[in-house]
Amino acid sequence: MEEVVKEGTRICSYPFLSAASRYVEESGVTLDDLISSAVFERARLRGKERIIEAIKNGVVRKPVIISNAQAEMELLSYPFARILVSCIGDEYLVRRYALSEAKAAHEELLASTGSSSDIIYEMSEEFGIRVDFLRLPHEHAQMQVQMAFVDYLRFTSNLRDKRWKLVNRGLEKGHVKLGKSEFVRIIQEAIYERIKKDLPLDIPADICEAISGYTVDIKKELEEKRKKFGDAGFESGSGFLVKDPSCFPPCISYILSNLKEGVNVPHSARFAVTAFLLNMGLNENEIIEIYKNSPDFDEDRTRYQVEHIAGDMGGVRYTAPSCGTMRTYGNCAGNDDMCEKVAHPLSYYKLKLKKKKKNEKI
């Protein structure tokens, strides 16, 4: 009996695994049962809770599983949560939900891999990551994982911290070595991609209608979150109501001082600073003013370009480039302590502003 509960617990901690979906399939529970049968009310409520937790806390905590029945409900709550997310069909919610599930699985993996590596093997197989596990000769050394660089890139090219950059890795004969916890972090990315991949699912309208009682609370929660952080939160930059140039990152300050002194600044840097300031909430006239000292200033052209970046002409509204892109184009002006903690000039500003306010209070 204990064994069965253990297996159930294991699967329901990682409900995105193919073993889990197989389990659900074989259980004989139909979609109809899942969305309407009274027997599964617990699974449905837990499914809703998963999403609310994702919105509120950014991670879907795992309950302690004490019985088989509970394990089954926990497991079934996952497909139901996916249906809910799909019916709401909000892109931000899809990302946030996938991330929260992935984070929870990551925590779980970190906690459980101390004892055995089985689950790590299983995960690598699940995601088609070719790995070798190396053990260093002396006993207390951390286990190391070695993987093909192609797989490594597949799952890390979205990670912005420079320690993940391939160039900063001991790449030897096509293989990257990682510590165990680093490898688990990569698994988190793989999980995130897997969960996000086919969301939102194509759910018929009548089904969405039938479960609207569950979605209504989620929508409310989502709305709440939006109000607090501005519409698209970080990306649109509407969270930055305060403009404080003393909190700008070194790269942006450097470009600005060059512009002020009439130094000719490369196109990529102009793009970066313009997008950054637009994200900050400056308006187009304020930004055009900054370019007036440029040796090749042409007001009409500048206005056209600024408006283009601002998305005024029906295009996309651009977000300032990340630290990685800034470095690639040679626009990173060098690091300070704060830079170490962020991967994006906008995060730098946000963090520094927060720190400054904290200091002022004291």
Q: Using CB under 8 A, list all residues that contact another protein.
A: 136-138, 141, 148-150, 153-154, 156-158, 162-163, 165-175, 177, 324, 327-330
Is 144 or 238 the residue whose CB approaches another protein more closely?
144
Is 158 or 283 the residue whose CB approaches another protein more closely?
158
Q: Which two tokens stand for residue 12?
A: 């329901």
Distance, C-alpha 303 to centroid of its chain: 34
Residues 6+ apart with CB under 8 A from 218: 48, 51, 52, 55, 84, 88, 93
Distance (Å, whole) CA 87 – CA 221: 15
Closest CB 77 distance from another protein, rounded Å: 33
Distance (Å, whole) CA 198 – CA 16: 12
Is 48 or 175 the residue whose CB approaches another protein more closely?
175
Is 30 or 328 the residue whose CB approaches another protein more closely?
328
Closest CB 116 distance from another protein, rounded Å: 24
DSSP-assigned letters across all residues of 284-349: HHHHHHHGGGSTT--HHHHHHHHHHHHTTTSSPPPPPPPHHHHHHTT------TTGGG-SSHHHHH
Closest CB 172 distance from another protein, rounded Å: 5
Closest CB 221 distance from another protein, rounded Å: 32
Closest CB 177 distance from another protein, rounded Å: 7
Phi, psi (degrees; rounded to nearest 5) at 148:
-65, 140
Question: How many CB atoms are closer than 10 A to CB 194?
Answer: 17
Is 19 or 153 the residue whose CB approaches another protein more closely?
153
